[in-house]
Chains A and B, each alone.
Chain A
Amino acid sequence: MFKKYVFVCALLTAFSFKAFALEKEGKATLPIKGTLLSTVTDKERLAARKAALIDAWKNYVNDANINSISRTKAFDENKSDIDQKLDKCVSTPNECEFFSKIDFISEKVDKDLKTITVYLVVNINDQRISAYLNGKSAAGKQESGSGSGFAFLFLQRNVVTNKQSNDPGSDTLVRDKAKFAGDSAGGSDVSAKVNEGLVQAGFESMDFKDIADSCNNTSIYDEAVASFQQEGTVKNFADMAKFIKSCGKDPEININFKYFAVAEAESTAPVKDRGKQVIVTNLRIRVTSIVKGIPQNIANAGPIQIAGEGTDSITASRDGLIKAGAAAARLITDIMNEKKLK
């Protein structure tokens, strides 16, 4: 049984070799001038060999069983490159890419007619030639997959009623110590939501906090958080843009960051509405291009209001943050689509 199997395998292998051991013949006759010392010069011999190789190549290219019309066209389009490769096959046959074997069967010099005739047989490396054509057609195309780098920073703080620090009886809202997305319960959800939207839009998105962590500069993130906490706006924007560009060049990150967006969210104190806690978040977004390392404004959006609901203030805050994250991603992608930026 085993022997029979081996026999069948051997037969199949032999058959497939027979079917695809692509041999082509080439023949060329060229006139020679010769010199006083010899009837044919090395240059003339090489020229005759090349002409015979080209003849074999043409026999291969024009074989309709092997090459389709579109492939023949592709050979034409790459003629000069193929010519160079065929030249190499004559000068250094060992480095020949398209023929796995070249047999020079005969070289005859006719002294009377002053010609040289070369006859050869080549084994065509059809697979390599196919890969070569495929590589040529791929070379002209763009490479994608990483998308443009998009850095984003989501900051959030709560605005709460703080009667102790105001005049008695006053209900004025003053700013308490802000809570930020990264520290609050919903921080990772916000990050995931913004990322999800950007990734779906084809960007290579990265949270600014992750960028700062990866390039060991957490102080730049802390500074941004502190400035938003104290003044309601991010002050070190230009420094951050410069840092993002340089950090993207780190081999560990290797992202060409082209855009940087900051989403600022301010949440009101919770209010009771029909048995539920409701927190309203005002969201503002600034999108910039950082292609040259200096932030250039693309668009400002907002403020838009988003309501988060829950049975308690923590759930309401989390709900509001998730919705704000999704809204931020949507706003950013809308802006990018509208401006046709990728």
Chain B
Amino acid sequence: MKFKGLALSFCFTLIQVCHANANELKEIVWDGFAYPYKTGQEEKCDSNRNPICLILESQKEGSFQDIFNKKIQDIVDNKYKFVSKLSDERGDSLHLAVSISLEWPLSTSNSNAEEESIYFLCTTILFYKSSETLTLLNAQPLCFIQGGFKKSSGDLVQFLNNMLYANTAPKAVTIEKRLLSEISEVINTKPTDLKRISIRTVKFNEDVYKNEPEKRQLLRSFVAEMLTANISKSLGKPVIPSSLKNAGKIELRFANQSKNASIELPKSSDFLDIVIQPFSKKTNKDDLGYKYEIFFAMLKLSHQQSQIKGGEAYFSNVNIFLASAPRRITQGNESDAEELKYINILRALTDDVSKQLVKPDKKWMKDHVLNSDSNLIFEGFNKLATDLTAN
């Protein structure tokens, strides 16, 4: 009898300890996926522009949102736990959302027969605090590329579902898996680690997608998102997400409109201004008469410090280019879409540029910077890299 009493009291204490530990975990409200919104757009998810809305809008049981909601609440962390609603709504609160910042399906072929597409998707994990205003604590931009969507034989929703989460192969790196692991990182990264560099403007040379304003906007987001994600990857630290003219804010729009929010971004200490230069292609013939093609992408980069930091420009109007490897033209590949090749070389260029911003390489810059004063430009990149990598 005495033993039973002791056992009961032990269990009670254990429950209390567990309960106390659970209480010590700070709550983070999972606000959900925010669909892309830019000032000026209508306040609704447009599935023509963003097919992912077809998935994000569904809150039904078994839907992506439903499954993700459960999985995020299963994340085990020794400081935080995810909830859909706060247990105590008084005072400041922590929130997490994933914003979809780019969707761009690009056809792999010029012929209409197959219409296979490569899908570019960029997301930003946003960890923010709600007090009088919403302020960003940390962010992690991530871009994904998925091939294999055929309009003629597939269902877009099914393709996106597979890309996001439905692929059950154990080694398949679905977006869901990646997001869950990155979210665990983001909440535990110190807010002071957030690097205060941001893409301020992305402009175009007038020849880029001339008379195609919608593609221009996609390309603009593509470059801003890819550069931000790649700078973050090269630094190994979060950077301020690009807000391209939303005046230092990120507008979040959710399927549940009551969660709509405007997050204030921390002030940047360094800005990058980008101009997308025209794409170009060159065809060479070798001694045997075989034809080869090379694709070129070029960006013009300028830097400026914030006024508080002094407003100095470490480099201005630097033309950096990248060329693809020569590719032999055969009957089998002559109808491949040129647009995709340009976008792919541009993507590789954003990756290379990001690496140079973090760790400039004199030889690489000599080979890829078009300006004649590449040594001076290298010094400018070096100064920025020193600032960015300083703790």
Q: Give A residues with C-beta under 8 Å from B.
A: 16, 18-20, 65-66, 68, 85, 97, 126-128, 130-132, 134-135, 137-138, 141-146, 188-189, 191-192, 195-200, 202, 204-207, 210-211, 213-214, 250-255
Contacts and interface: CB of A to CB of B under 8 A. Distances in A.
Interface stretch (B36-44, B59-67, B123-131): B36-44
A206 B245 contact: yes
Contacts of B41: 192, 196
B280 A134 contact: yes
26 contacts: A19-B286, A19-B290, A65-B286, A97-B372, A127-B296, A127-B323, A130-B280, A131-B298, A131-B323, A134-B296, A145-B203, A145-B204, A145-B216, A145-B275, A146-B201, A146-B245, A192-B39, A199-B40, A204-B245, A206-B245, A214-B247, A214-B248, A251-B200, A251-B268, A251-B311, A253-B247
A326 B206 CA distance: 29
B241 to A, nearest CB: 14
Given A138-B277, A198-B40, A214-B247, A130 B292 contact: no
A255 B244 CA distance: 11
B205 interface: yes
A135 B38 CA distance: 31
A284 B323 CA distance: 54
Contacts of B40: 192, 195-200, 205
A144 B276 CA distance: 10
Contacts of A202: 213
Given A205-B40, A250-B307, A66 B201 contact: no
B306 A251 contact: yes
Contacts of A250: 307
A106 to B, nearest CB: 26
DSSP class of A's interface residues: helix, strand, loop or mixed?
A: helix
Nearest to A191: B39
A189 B43 contact: yes
Interface in B227-272: 245, 247-249, 267-268, 271
A19 B204 contact: no
B115 to A, nearest CB: 28
Given A130-B294, A138-B298, A192-B41, A20 B284 contact: yes
Interface in B276-301: 276-278, 280, 282-287, 290, 292, 294, 296, 298
Contact of B39 (A127, A144, A146, A195): A195
Contacts of B319: 131, 135
Interface in B297-329: 298, 304, 306-307, 311, 319, 321, 323, 325-326
Given A20-B292, A204-B245, A253-B247, A65 B326 contact: no
A141 B249 CA distance: 31
Contacts of B292: 16, 19-20
Contact of B284 (A126, A200, A254): A126
B203 A205 contact: no
A127 B207 CA distance: 21
B367 interface: yes
B268 A252 contact: yes
A251 B307 contact: yes
Nearest to B275: A143
A16 B323 contact: no
